[in-house]
Structure 1
Amino acid sequence: MRFKFSHFTGRLSAPSPLNTPSKFGNVVEGPKIQYQLGTKVAVTDTPKHRGYYSAVPEVLQQKMRTFQMPNGLPVHVKGGPIDTLLYVFTAAVCFIGFVESCRVYYVLSYPTPPPKDE
């Protein structure tokens, strides 16, 4: 039995009998939607735009070739030395933030005692 995501419940559920395939592999069709007279249905794809795609610029094609090259580098450093520098900088900022958060937790856990007045 194939389960489907139900948008009504937000969970996986068994398909309704209308969507359950028969023993012969044919899918039983559900009832047709009948609209009231005068109902306007939004059209998202107009026929004048079907099959028309503009040319991809050469600069974008070169970037696509660079990032799809199988050179063993992760995608976040394939851009060159600037990407590597940004990656190292981001890693250093994350490490410093982690160390500072640990220091703050330590200071808040063990505060310094107030000075004694004599």
Structure 2
Amino acid sequence: MHHQFDNYTGRLTGATSAMWPYYPLSPRSYSKADRSQVIFDQKSTRAAQVQGNCRVVPRKQIPGTSYFYAPLDERLRLKMEHYQKPNGIPIHLKGGPADKVLFGVTVALLAVGIVSAFNLVYRMAVPKKQ
């Protein structure tokens, strides 16, 4: 099923026909002049001010462009560093003991399935003697 952004609801909606992707709703391209403006309910309304313990994350610029990387949660950054260390451990085992257990269970179930498949082929090929 194909989806398209609905400007009214601001969500993805399902296509009404299979040909929808081939015939877009508007042939004009998006331009920066089409951005919607934030409209406040009153003139006295201001944007929210953040106060208190707010950690400011330094923004890093993408090399060769004027764009910045999106801010990244510290826990996610540490987890990415952990998985990218070149320590010789395969990626499917870097999660610790739980990954080793899951890998062992997966290999055991795979072995049982292969043995069962060969057993089935053998029973079908060699009939019982009567």
TM-score (norm 2): 0.49
Q: Give the Cα–Cα distance (whole angstroms) in 2 for the partners of residues 39 and 106 of structure 1.
A: 62
Cα separation, partners in 2 of 1:52 and 1:71, compared to 1, 3 Å:
closer
Instruction: State the match for 2:28 in structure 1.
Output: 40
Q: Structure 2: 5+ residue runs without aligned partners?
A: 1-25, 36-65
1:66 to 82, 101, 111: 82
Counterpart of 1:81?
Answer: 97
Tell me which amino acid in the other structure corresponds to 2:71.
Answer: A
Matches within 5 A, 1:88-107: 88-107=104-123
The amino acid that maps onto 1:107 is R
Q: Cα RMSD (Å) of the superposition?
A: 2.8
Look up the SS of the partner of 1:92 in the other structure. helix
Q: Following the alignment from structure 1 to structure 2, what is the Cα–Cα distance between the partners of residues 96 and 105?
A: 14
Counterpart Cα distance in 2 of 1:39 and 1:97: 53
Q: Deviations over 1:29-82 (max 9, x none)?
A: xxxxxxxxx951246xx99xx825431101111111110111110000000000
Higher mean displacement: 63-72 or 53-62: 53-62
Cα deviation digits, residues 84-110 of structure 1 (max 9, x gap)? 111111111111100000000000111
Question: Which structure's CA Rg is the greater one?
Answer: 1
Stretches of 4+ moved more than 4 A in 1? none
Which letter maps to 2:83?
F
Aligned length: 74
Gaps spanning 5+ residues in structure 1: where?
1-37
- TM-score, with normalisation over the residues of structure 1? 0.54
Q: Secondary structure at the match of 1:73?
A: coil
